[in-house]
Chain A
Amino acid sequence: MTVDQRTQAFLHTADENRAVAQRLLSHSDLQPAARRWAIAAAFYAAVHLVNAYIWGRLRIEPANHGERQSFVETESVLRTIGIDYRQLQRRGFDARYVPRFVPSEALAITLVTRDLEQIRTVVMMAFADIDGISNDD
């Protein structure tokens, strides 16, 4: 695993999306639309975390969601967060494209504060021995 500028860029974009997701969740009068966008932002944070891992390890950037999903299943580290990733991916899709998707507050909180954090922890642990990257927040 190595961290270059491109890896850093993926991690930076992931953190931006994560911050948006957390901000939407913290909105005091949380509405379904805010929950949907929180979940969508959380999914894109996960996408960039997975991209960071794949780039750091293999110097490959997945061309699409299907290719990225294949890496999640074939890379042993990523496989440990496979269920988190796939549920977030599906609910992120529903958030963007299925108008009748009305996630509960509990679901949105779980996806953003537990599942995305688990994905982030696993990816950052993989980079943990590399200077300049810290899992602390």
Chain B
Amino acid sequence: MVIREKTDAMTVAHRFVEAINGDDSVLGVWVRDTMCGVEIVTVTEPLDGDAERWLFRIQGELIREFPDANVQLAVYNPSFFTGDPFELVPTDAQPVSLTT
């Protein structure tokens, strides 16, 4: 019987941080395991809809790199949410250092 190891959520998160490459429009990154897979959570500077699309491009790269992880991406962009976007970060999400 072959047992496949589950992809570690923090490994996915570190690849995400590498991919954003210090872009200062991303203010924070968190990660958590959900029933459905690995969720990367970001809080950004206020961006318009087109300016946040590059983050969804990176999500696609991670889906291809970690096909068993079902990588999800939450983008809490203050342009589209009321109140403090940091309050939207799930309490069970682990912070990820933005320095690689």
Contact = CB atoms under 8 A, between A and B. Distances in A.
Interface of A: 64-66, 69-70, 73-74, 79, 82-83, 86-87, 90-91, 94, 98, 100-104, 106-107, 110-111
B10 interface: no
Interface residues of B, number: 25
Contacts of A83: 53, 56-57, 60
Contacts of A111: 49
Given A70-B63, A82-B60, A107-B80, A100 B53 contact: no
B52 A104 contact: no
A111 B56 CA distance: 14
Given A73-B60, A94-B81, 10 more contacts: A64-B36, A65-B36, A82-B56, A82-B57, A82-B60, A83-B53, A83-B57, A86-B60, A87-B49, A90-B72
Contact of A103 (B64, B67, B80): B80
Contacts, number: 65
A101 B73 contact: no
A106 B80 contact: no
Contacts of A104: 48-49, 79-80
A100 B57 CA distance: 24
Interface of B: 36-37, 48-50, 52-53, 56-57, 59-60, 63-64, 67, 70, 72-75, 79-83, 88
B53 A87 contact: yes
